[in-house]
Chain A
Amino acid sequence: MAGDDSAGIEVVRRLGELGDCGCDLRAETAPGVELLDVFPLADVIVFVDAVTSGGVPGSLYLTSLPSKGLEPRVLGSLSGHGWGLVETLELAQALGRTVPRLFLLGIEAGTVAQGAPCSPAVEKAVALVVERISELRSLLLTSEVVSTRTFCPSDRSFPGNPRFGLQVPPTGCP
């Protein structure tokens, strides 16, 4: 993988090593129409992926999908023959398929150079997500995320309190 681009896969790998984290884990390298087969399997699906928004590396972003607030790679056109998550969501709606509640947990990438190691900031962000998976799971099962929540690097308030789910998050990291 290319440096911090491995963040999503790394979160899945580490959660898998923990044993039962209360979530079904899948590592998808090319999300496309195959996701239609995944949608019926869960009430809530969280996509974890590296993102590049110009923010501080290691920042975490939590948003419901589809979202216009972020332009993460998973929503881009890098999927096979133009079929990414956005297109798959639209197709599911056109076919009348049931779509579960979807969220994106984005991890701001620093370096995505081929063969580069994960940067320390992203390494810390991955560790924080793994450490707080139980809180994240509880939050997303019980709350809506109506706008993008941004967590600066090492912000241990992640993933936030369910009772603050309707609050507009602070923006900008020091």
Chain B
Amino acid sequence: MATKNSYREKTVQVDYLTRVEGEGGVYVRSEGGELREVKINIFEPPRFFEAFLRGRFLQEVPDITARICGICPVAYQMSAVHALEAALQVTPPPEIRALRRLLYCGEWIESHALHIYMLNAPDFLGYESAIAMAADHPQEVERALRLKKIGNRMLEILGGRATHPVSVCVGGFYKAPRRKDLETLNADLRWALEASKETLTFVSNLPFPDYAPEYEFVSVSHPNEYPMNERRIVSSKGVSIDPVDFEHVYLEEHRGHSTALHSSRADNGSSYFVGPLARINLNFDKLMPQALEAARASGISWPCSNPYKGIVARAVELIHACEEALALIESYREPAASRVEFKVRAGEGCAATEAPRGLLYHRYRINDRGLVEFARIIPPTAQNYHRMEDDLKAILPGVLDQSEAAIAQVCEKLIRTYDPCISCSTHFVKLRLERG
């Protein structure tokens, strides 16, 4: 953190945000006690995945895009295969669809457990890190580690390995798991379901700042189930669109201070909010029964517009994921074929699925040889940057008289509630504050 003070101007700079993935910072400038400028600077180099994909065969896409993130590779695979299947007009059977939801449940469990306990909870309990928190809260940290391990185990069984799974393909899976292998998860998932309820109790009692602006929440929505892989995109401001219209309603733009693109509403340039809080607010009644009951009993008023309570939303989704995973395994019948055969054809398709940290949109155009001619990937963190900056503009005027260290902590705490993955979005955090 660097600071600069003068009569008219004061600067605070947090060079690197910690407990987030990737490299970025925050720049804040004030004059005469008035906040003038807030920028979330992403200085992690662009990763050019969209360019890497051009010229590659369509079945390589889920394996390449999985490499974008070690925490949420399944999300990249899911958005990729659904977009490509839209281009090919392929519809996998219900058994494959259920397996994909089960795989996504595994990723939500490992990612949410990591964020709740290891990245976000220390902010509310006054610890510098989960390592410091572990000395006073070993039971919670051990719970997190076991939950994460169970999520990873699900990815290993369904995806072949926990990091960057290899079994997902356009049309289904290269290999469908045996029912007996999935049943080995049941005892752990039953423990995880109860541990998730304990997690919700733990996070519901954290001390939350009093801040609840009017957001536009955006998420995938399905008429009959909690959103993961399909179908429409809806918002709390009345948007209800097919994914093919996403880029008409929400616009990605370059900002000079950032190597990540920032998303806004195309019509009025306003920010919007994706992630677990958006999903629950827009799909509350689609939660699994025990998750729904626990959410209602949590003491949180839903819909909830306090971004800090995103940690509660994640805990509710942790319950949901464990509950749904148990149900999916119970009803699993090994498919006759692990994937749908299809004829390669030229086409264009897009899809939006729900990564642990929010809506993830992919669009591909392929030629008649199945080679990618165009790829667009809009990750959840890039969609939230604009909203994070707006939150900081609303919150910082109330803390500008505090120490630079305190201001930096306010910035980091707010940004971490979004569970940003800068590496995914670079195409992201460091605080620099100038005030006078």
Contact = CB atoms under 8 A, between A and B. Distances in A.
Contacts of A80: 21, 70-71
Given A80-B21, A82-B20, A91 B149 contact: no
Contact of B134 (A29, A81, A95): A95
Given A37-B149, A87-B131, A91-B130, A81 B20 contact: yes
A36 B71 contact: no
B162 interface: yes
Contact of B135 (A81, A82, A87, A94): A94
A28 B114 CA distance: 19
A34 interface: yes
Interface in B1-23: 18-21
Interface string A92-107: 0011100000000000
Interface string B210-224: 000000000000000
Contact of B19 (A33, A81, A91): A81
A36 B114 CA distance: 14
Contacts of B131: 87, 90-91, 94
Interface in A1-59: 29-30, 32-34, 36-37
Contacts of A79: 70
B118 A33 contact: yes
Contacts of B421: 81
A91 B71 contact: no
Nearest to B130: A91
Interface in B309-339: none
Given A33-B145, A94-B131, A81 B119 contact: yes
Contacts of B130: 91
A34 B149 contact: yes
A132 to B, nearest CB: 30
Contacts of A33: 114, 118, 145, 148
B152 interface: yes
A34 B152 contact: yes
Contacts of B114: 33, 81
B163 A30 contact: yes
A81 B322 CA distance: 23
- The winner among B132, B134, B164 for most chain A CB atoms within 10 A is B134
Interface string B148-159: 110010000000
B83 interface: no
Interface residues of A, number: 18
B141 interface: yes
> Majority SS of interface residues in chain B?
helix
A103 to B, nearest CB: 22
Nearest to A36: B145
Given A34-B149, A34-B162, A81 B71 contact: yes
Nearest to B135: A94
Contacts of A91: 130-131, 134, 141
Given A34-B149, A95-B138, A82 B19 contact: yes
B388 to A, nearest CB: 17
A101 to B, nearest CB: 21
B142 interface: yes
A100 to B, nearest CB: 18
A29 B141 contact: no
Given A34-B149, A91-B131, A91-B134, A83 B118 contact: yes
Contacts of B70: 30, 32, 79-80
B166 to A, nearest CB: 12
A81 B163 contact: no
A36 B152 CA distance: 13
A96 to B, nearest CB: 8
Nearest to B152: A34
Contacts of A30: 70, 163
Nearest to B164: A29
A94 B122 CA distance: 15
Contacts of B119: 81
Nearest to B71: A80
B134 A94 contact: yes
Given A81-B119, A94-B134, 16 more contacts: A29-B164, A33-B114, A33-B118, A34-B148, A34-B149, A34-B152, A81-B20, A81-B114, A82-B18, A82-B21, A83-B118, A87-B129, A90-B131, A91-B134, A95-B134, A95-B138
21 contacts: A29-B163, A33-B114, A33-B118, A33-B145, A33-B148, A34-B149, A37-B149, A79-B70, A80-B70, A80-B71, A81-B21, A81-B118, A81-B421, A82-B19, A91-B134, A91-B141, A94-B131, A94-B132, A94-B134, A94-B138, A94-B141
Interface of A: 29-30, 32-34, 36-37, 79-83, 87, 90-91, 94-96
Nearest 5 Cβ contacts at the A-B interface: A94-B134, A80-B70, A81-B21, A30-B70, A90-B131
